Amino acid sequence: MSKSDLEVTLREITKENWRDILCLKVAPDQEQFVASNAMSIAEAHFNPEVAWFRAIYAGDVPVGFLMLEDDIAQQEYFLWRFMIGEQYQGRGYGRKALELFFAYVKTRPGAEAVETSCVPAKGGPGPFYEKMGFAYTGQAEDGELVMRREL
């Protein structure tokens, strides 16, 4: 079985695996595009009413992290954080993880679309998000371009 054939799953971050998740890093030239997993997990713990976060695994190996801003009251859903560790990029794990993420968001009350935002710079995640069905909305937030994907 090749590495790209490994089953991708989204798993809770627990006292057993949190250190492994904190060790995942993007490439140095990608650091401007996403906060560290430590920062993301801290934000999640201080925003428990809207933060839903998971480790991304390929088989039994942690390869990434994602976080949803899960605003049930407004029925708005936002891909708040998404990263695949540098050594695991380009293997299809990110695509598979986002497919699982979209399936989860579809189960949320009133979910018709999910939004995200990205830094408009060379090497940023915009082209990847476009391949995953996101489109630019023409809006900007905190210097990032907003993208939307219908579910």
Q: Which domain holds residue 38?
A: 3-150
- The pTM of this model reads 0.94
The model's pLDDT over 24-65, given as tens digits with 9 standing for 90+, comes to 999 999 999 999 999 999 999 999 999 999 999 999 999 999
Which of 50-59, 64-73, 119-128 is predicted least confidently?
Answer: 119-128
**Per-residue H/E/C for 94-140:** HHHHHHHHHHHHHCCCCCCEEEEEECCCCCCCHHHHHHCCCEEEEEE
What's CA 46's distance to the chain center, in Å? 18
pLDDT at position 4 is 58
- Provide the mean pLDDT of the chain: 95
Q: Using CA atoms, how far apart are residues 99 and 92, in angstroms rounded to an integer?
A: 11
What CATH number should be reported for the domain holding residue 111? 3.40.630.30
Residue 1 has pLDDT above 70, yes or no: no
Which of these, 22, 136, 114, lies nearest to 68 by C-alpha position?
A: 114
Q: Domain total for the chain?
A: 1
Residue 2 has pLDDT above 60, yes or no: no
- Six-digit token string for 135: 């489109």
Residue 3 has pLDDT above 60, yes or no: no
